[in-house]
Chain A
Amino acid sequence: MNRYMGRWRARTVTVLLTVLLLTPAAHADTVIVAVAANFTKVAEQLAPLFKAETGHDVTYSFGATGQLYTQISQGAPFEVFLAADDERPTRAVTDGFAVDGTVFTYAIGALALYSTTLDLSDGAAVLQGGDFEKLAIADPATAPYGLAAVETIAKLGLTDAIAPKLVTGENITQTLQFIESANAELGFVAASQVVGKSNVWLVPAADYQPIRQDAVLLKTGADSEAAKAYVAFLKSQAALAVIKAAGYGVE
Chain B
Amino acid sequence: MSLGDIWTPVSLTLSLATVNTLILLLIGTPIAWWLARSKNRYRELVGAIVSMPLVLPPTVLGFYLLIALGPNGPGGWIASLWGGRTLAFSFTGLVIGSIFYSLPFMVQPLRNGFTAIGTDALEVASSLGASNWQRFWRVALPLARPGYITGAIMTFAHTVGEFGVVLMIGGNIPGQTKVIAIALYDYVERLQWAQAHIIALGMVVFAFVVIAITLTIDRRINVPMP
Binding site for B on A (CB under 8 A): 64, 66-67, 69-70, 73, 133-134, 136, 139, 141-142, 166-170, 178, 181-185
Interfacial chain A residues near B190, Cβ < 8 Å: 66, 141-142
Q: Are A139 and B172 in contact (CB under 8 A)?
A: yes
Q: Which of B185, B189, B190 has the most CB of A within 10 A?
A: B189
Known interface pairs A66-B189, A70-B191, A183-B69; A133-B84 also in contact (CB < 8 Å):
yes
Give Cα A67–Cα B189 distance, bound, in whole angstroms.
5
Q: Which residues between 159 and 200 of chain B lie within 8 Å of chain A, taking CB atoms? A: 167, 171-173, 185-186, 188-191
Query: In this complex, what residue of B is CB-closest to A134?
Result: B89
Query: In this complex, what residue of A is CB-closest to B193?
Result: A70
| B78 in the interface (beta carbon within 8 A) | no
Binding site for A on B (CB under 8 A): 66-67, 69-72, 84-86, 88-89, 167, 171-173, 185-186, 188-191
Interfacial chain A residues near B66, Cβ < 8 Å: 181, 183
Query: In this complex, what residue of B is CB-closest to A166?
Result: B173
Kindly list 14 other residue pairs between chains A and B, CB separation below 8 angstroms, not including A133-B84, A139-B186.
A134-B86, A139-B189, A141-B189, A167-B172, A168-B171, A169-B172, A170-B167, A170-B172, A178-B89, A182-B70, A182-B72, A182-B86, A183-B88, A183-B171
Q: What's the minimum C-beta distance from B141 to chain A, rounded to whole angstroms? A: 41
Q: Chain B interface mostly helix, strand, loop or mixed?
A: loop
Interfacial chain B residues near A136, Cβ < 8 Å: 171
Known interface pairs A168-B171, A182-B70; A141-B188 also in contact (CB < 8 Å):
no
Q: Are B171 and A73 in contact (CB under 8 A)?
A: no
Give Cα A64–Cα B186 distance, bound, in whole angstroms.
11
Q: What's the minimum C-beta distance from A54 to chain B, rounded to whole angstroms? A: 33
Interfacial chain B residues near A141, Cβ < 8 Å: 186, 189-190
Q: What's the minimum C-beta distance from A162 to chain B, rounded to whole angstroms? A: 13
Q: What's the minimum C-beta distance from A169 to chain B, rounded to whole angstroms? A: 7
Query: In this complex, what residue of A is CB-closest to B71?
Result: A182
Q: What's the minimum C-beta distance from B210 to chain A, rounded to whole angstroms? A: 27
- Sampled A-B contacts (14; CB under 8 Å): A66-B190, A70-B189, A133-B85, A167-B89, A167-B173, A168-B172, A168-B173, A170-B185, A178-B89, A182-B70, A183-B70, A183-B85, A183-B86, A184-B89
Q: Are B171 and A167 in contact (CB under 8 A)?
A: yes
Give Cα A49–Cα B110 distance, bound, in whole angstroms.
58
Q: What's the minimum C-beta distance from A153 to chain B, rounded to whole angstroms? A: 16
Interfacial chain B residues near A134, Cβ < 8 Å: 85-86, 89, 171
Q: Are A169 and B189 in contact (CB under 8 A)?
A: no
Give Cα A169–Cα B173 distance, bound, in whole angstroms.
10
Q: Are B189 and A142 in contact (CB under 8 A)?
A: yes
Q: What's the minimum C-beta distance from B199 to chain A, rounded to whole angstroms? A: 15
Query: In this complex, what residue of B is CB-closest to A164?
Result: B173
